[in-house]
Amino acid sequence: MNDVATPAAGSLIGQRITKLDAPEKAAGKTRYLHDIDVPGQLHGAILRSARVHARIVRIDTSRAKALPGVHAVLTAADVPDQRPIGVAKDHLPLKADRVRSVRDEIAAVAADTEVIARAALALIDVEYDDLPVLGDAQDALAPGAPLIHPPIEGARPGAPVGLAGKADNVAMRFDYAHGDVVRGEAESDVVVEDSFELHYVTHCCMGTSGVIAEFDAKGNLQLISNTQVPFLHKREFAEYLGIDPARVRIVQPPIGGGFGSKLDIYPFEVIAVFLARATGRPVKLVYSREEEFVASPTRQPVRLTLRSGCTKDGTLTFRSVRTIHDNGAYTSWGATTPFVMMQTFSSLYRVPHCDYHTLAVYTNNPYAGSFRGYGNLQATFAVEQHMDRLADAIGMDPLALRLKNAQEPGEVSGQGMVFRSCGFRDCLQSAAERSDYVAKRRAYAAQRHEPGTLKRGIGIAAMLHVGGGAKIYPSDGCGTILKLDDFGHVTLITGASEIGQGSETVLAQLVCEELGLPIAAVTVVNNDTDITPWDVGVHASRTTFIAGNSAIGAARKAKAKILAAAAPRFDCRADDLELAGGHVVRRAGGEKLVDLPRLLRSLHFSERAELVMTTHYYEPPSVHQDKGFKGDVSAAYAWAAQVVEVEVDTATGVVRMLKVTGAHDVGRVLNRLGIEGQIEGGIVMGQGYALTENLLVDHGAVRNPNFRDYKLVTAPEIPEMDIAFIETMDGEGPRGAKGVGEAPSICIAAATANAIENATGVRITSLPFTPERVYRALRGALPPVRPVPALPAA
């Protein structure tokens, strides 16, 4: 890792600070949801469909109910009050008359043990009447294609899809435009067009999905949940059950990985609530690893056709994009990824003319959810390959083309995104110079036809992503409650969830920096909606930015209160004082006047007793986009460039990733150890997306639901990494920082594609770059990606 700034003496900012929860995790003392049992607990299990698409003719649960140790067996018939869930409200938790994918929930059991519960599932008899299977989104748009959610006779007008059905297989559509692409193409000297195929991958969290649902004697619901959005969950479950949100409590245990997989309300959570209600006992329901592969959401698979142009001097002229998203059988957050993809199409580099049209289409495949990068890996894969293609077409170096079109601070994109801080050019130049990109690209291309099967290549790609949240909900803010006790210890109560990303450590740092305290002086409370203030949840690379500003605001209020109380005692103004090293000191000279705990006790035990407790709510200055998807949706934007070097064995198709050289505009480094971990982990996730990971879905059936057959990157395959941080000191960010959680995974696949082309002269537009795919492509035997046709009008 390259240092950009040396931390100031005595400052916590920029230091390498170990995560607050690291000792407990390293010692094996952390209790994840799987480790938690509550008194009187039963174990839940779900019977899933044995068919991809079928009518449910009959369900017989009599044998399961008779099994000793079984306390409840539920089907849709047993919960007549269930209602549709999901982003589009298009599926019931327990399926009533039809199954549309192999992950569909047909029945559920609560029993004394998990073994008994799963044994009971085997005793449930289900008779099916098979229906035609739609395994391709483009085929699902064809005239006469079977309907995944056929209209329901007698449905109430305006009812959601889950209660009314639909006359076509279109789940969602997005249409965006700025400028005039016809004019842009006419002004172009070069136009290129390609189609791209982006595949299924899944999150592979070490902790599988799970929940413990319990009603107390007053009928209040408590969920011990791995959700990333506890306050949204609280509201959604209250609405679902028709009760006051004050009667729903969400408690988050330590979470064994999220990456976006825990943003929605899922059937298994509602089913656990049904079982708890039916039995009057707490119910713990945890996925097996196979269930996690089959039933948890995936990254959105996309088929994409991109048409781009530029002039002879390398000025970009237009982009025109059509995509079809395989929605799967139901709608989760994956269908909304075009919201982020269009930001890359419209605003990664200066693009004067752009249009983008997309459909999310129902099929019988697994449904897609949110996943780190949220559609940006797919969009960047196409855009950054086209940057190389355009450069080659006009005889220009790809780095020079990128630098010519890269935005500067203060620019506004065609979509209305305001780049107040922008280290884009610095990222490109830093990554290219440190990797010797320009010289190596020329040398590797010249070596393609030399003897030997091992060929080296180098590729560059850049990315743009939100770095200060995204204004999707009415509020994108976060609340903080801060308390100092009589001994100078701080309790920081934040709405921001810790899901392994290290947010609680950064928040503690920011508070300690304001109050002049060591990191050990802070305890962070962040896991109980009955205690913590509101926050919208962990997504959109927002936590450090949003929760960090909130924590700083609360700490500054506490500091002001402390210094105002101290000033009269030393016959000075509060502005003359500072907090440092656990003391009140003179700002000029640093003379220690009183230690902080003594001052706090004097306030507490004075005639007019006072406690130092503050609250703060930070709402970012971002805005909601208009109906045309234009507007400054984030408070800041993150930029990065990554250079990937590979070795391709042309005899076998094996691609080895040798080195990744990256540069990230992070605003400011807060915790160097933490941000290095984020970047390294994101690179490995991007490497898996590019080279090895592939959830094999064949006509709706998942063929590799296990770690033996789903190929994650392992330690020996991880490349050398050389990462630099560009500090642009964002004016709105906490201490100048921006969010970076999603950025490192976004451009790896695109840079890898460009590196393979540099090594072999063959461009591959579909993922992953497995040996078989690369071998076939090198021999001209890889079928071309099916182009996306003109999409039907809205």
pLDDT value at 607 more than 90: no
* Partner residues linked to 577 by β-bridges: 586
What's residue 575's pLDDT?
97
Round to whole Å and give the CA distance between 489 and 522. Answer: 6
- Name 787's Cβ contacts closer than 8 Å, sequence gap at least 6: 195, 305
DSSP H or E stretch at residue 657 = strand 655-665
Nearest to 194 by CA among 359, 351, 304, 341: 304
Which structure tokens are listed for 263? 């943003």
Q: Where do runs of H (alpha helix) occur along 646-786? A: 672-691, 748-760, 771-778
Cα Rg of the chain (Å, integer): 28
DSSP secondary structure letter of residue 15: B
pLDDT for residue 792 is more than 90: no
pLDDT, tens digit, 9 for 90 and up, residues 143-165: 999 999 999 999 999 899 999 99
Q: Is residue 6 pLDDT above 70, yes or no?
A: no
For the segment 270-314, what is each residue's pLDDT rounded down to a tens digit?
999 999 999 999 999 999 999 999 999 999 999 999 999 999 999
Is residue 220 predicted with pLDDT exceeding 60?
Answer: yes
Encode 186-212: b = buried (16+ Cβ within 10 Å), e = exposed: ebbebbbebbbbbbbbbbbbebbbbbb
- Two structure tokens written together for 190: 């070069």
Identify the pLDDT of residue 606. Answer: 86
Q: What are the pLDDT digits (tens) for 717-726?
A: 999 999 999 9
- What mean pLDDT, rounded, does the chain reach? 96
Which of 600, 635, 678, 668 lies closest to 259, judged by CA?
A: 678
Calculate the dihedral angle through the C-alpha atoms of 777, 783, 789, 794, rounding to the nearest 10 degrees: -90
Taking the CA atoms of 92, 694, 783 and 441 in sequence, report the sign of the dihedral they define: positive
Q: Which residue from 526, 623, 518, 604 is spatially nearest to 565, judged by alpha carbons? A: 604
Element (H, E) at 195: strand 190-198
Q: What is the mean pLDDT of residues 79-106?
A: 96
CA 102, distance to chain mean position in Å, is 25
Find out whether 244 and 192 touch, Cβ atoms under 8 Å: no
Residues acting as catalytic residues: 742
CA 335 to CA 332: how far, in whole Å? 6
Cite the DSSP H helix spans in 35-194: 62-66, 114-121, 137-140, 161-164, 181-186
Q: What are phi and psi of 789, to 5 degrees?
A: -75, 170
Nearest to 739 by CA among 664, 677, 793: 664
Indicate the pLDDT class of residue 201, thresholds 50, 70 and 90: very high
pLDDT tens profile 14-49: 999 999 999 999 999 999 999 999 999 999 999 999
CA distance 755 to 643: 9
The token duo for 650 is 């042309």
Tell me the two tokens of residue 227.
């959700």
The average pLDDT across 309-335 equals 97
- Give mean pLDDT, residues 41-70: 98
Q: Work out the end-to-end distance of the chain between its first and last CA atoms, rounded to an integer number of angstroms.
A: 49
Q: What is the pLDDT of residues 674-710, one digit of tens each?
A: 999 999 999 999 999 999 999 999 999 999 999 999 9
Question: Is the model's pLDDT at 574 over the cut of 90?
Answer: yes
Residue 476: pLDDT over 70: yes
Give 3's pLDDT tier (boundaries 50, 70, 90).
Answer: very low
Neighbouring residues of 128: CB distance < 8 A, sequence distance ≥ 6: 50, 51, 54, 55, 56, 57, 99
Q: Say how far apart CA 361 and CA 329 lie, in whole Å.
A: 9
Residue range 173-181: mean pLDDT, rounded: 98
Q: Is the pLDDT of residue 1 over 50?
A: no
One-letter amino acid for residue 477 of the chain = G
DSSP conformation class of 497 = P
User: Cβ of 123: how many Cβ atoms within 10 Å?
Assistant: 18
- Establish whether the linkage from the previous residue to 768 is cis, with ω within 30° of 0: yes
Mean pLDDT of 336-357: 98
3-state secondary structure of 308: strand
Among 782, 764, 771, 778, which residue's Cα sits nearest to residue 196? 764
